């Protein structure tokens, strides 16, 4: 993979941070490229140099985080439930602005939430196939949907409340619950 110029990376990070900050202030539909460029302290043409429009910017941000979560999946899921959950919640804590904004935003949230939920369900489907029948007699589909919606709901609540407990604490509680059903 070619090395990215630090100036380009810094500019892209400023643009991404700007749109997230703006999404916390107003509806996504009301955000303009001019708003984004003003907040990032770059020219409009610089935003367009990197992204087609605000929808492309948002889509690339979502893809980036989902891909990073998938990479984390590869080694985190080799751990026990509590440890694996802690790894993910530390990631969510590190990227608080992104996840809290995306799960709370009225304009972008439904699209992101459905993609994120699909990602979580896929992970739980894989885990359910490895288990030893804890959910015997129950539909795998129902178990996966239940676990994934509970996971995302706990994450949303934890972020909305300003992360009142450290990742280790929430991961332990959520990990124990997931261990019981999957």
Run of H or E residues at 24: helix 6-25
Radius of gyration of the chain (CA): 18
**Res. 133 pLDDT band, cuts 50 70 90:** low
On the question of a common fold for 1-51 and 62-181, the answer reads no
> Residue 162 above 80 pLDDT?
yes
Give ∠ CA 128-131-136 in degrees, rounded to 5. Answer: 80
Residues 103-126: pLDDT tens digits?
Answer: 887 777 678 888 899 999 998 988
Q: Give the span between the Cα atoms of 182 and 174, in whole angstroms.
A: 12
Q: What is the domain partition of the chain in residue ranges?
A: 1-51, 62-181
CATH topology assigned to domain 1-51? Arc Repressor Mutant, subunit A (1.10.10)
Provide the greatest CA pair distance for the chain.
59
If one compares 180 and 13, the residue with the highest pLDDT of the two is 13
**pTM of this structure:** 0.87
9-50 tens-digit pLDDT: 999 999 999 999 999 999 899 999 999 999 999 999 999 999
Q: Is pLDDT above 80 for 1?
A: no
The CATH architecture one would assign to domain 62-181 is Orthogonal Bundle (1.10)
pLDDT in tens, 58-91: 999 999 999 999 888 876 777 788 888 999 999 9
What's the confidence (pLDDT) of residue 165?
A: 96
Q: Is 73 exposed, middle or buried (0-12, 13-18, 19+ CB in 10 A)?
A: middle
- How sure is the predictor about 180, in pLDDT bands with cuts at 50, 70 and 90? confident
């Amino acid at each position: 993979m070619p090395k990215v110029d630090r100036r380009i990376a810094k500019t892209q990070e400023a643009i991404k941070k700007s749109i997230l900050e703006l999404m916390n202030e107003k509806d996504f539909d009301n955000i303009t490229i001019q708003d984004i460029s003003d907040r990032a302290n770059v020219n409009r043409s610089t935003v367009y140099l990197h992204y087609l429009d605000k929808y492309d910017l948002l889509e690339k941000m979502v893809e980036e985080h989902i891909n990073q979560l998938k990479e984390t999946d590869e080694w985190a899921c080799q751990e026990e439930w509590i440890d694996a959950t802690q790894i993910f919640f530390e990631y969510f804590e590190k990227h608080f602005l992104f996840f809290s904004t995306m799960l709370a935003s009225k304009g972008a949230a439904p699209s992101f939430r459905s993609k994120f939920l699909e990602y979580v369900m896929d992970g739980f489907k894989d885990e359910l196939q490895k288990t030893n029948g804890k959910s015997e007699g129950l539909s795998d589909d129902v178990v996966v949907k239940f676990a994934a919606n509970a996971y995302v709901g706990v994450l949303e609540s934890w972020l909305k409340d300003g992360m009142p407990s450290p990742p280790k604490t929430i991961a332990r509680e959520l990990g124990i619950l997931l261990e019981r059903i999957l």
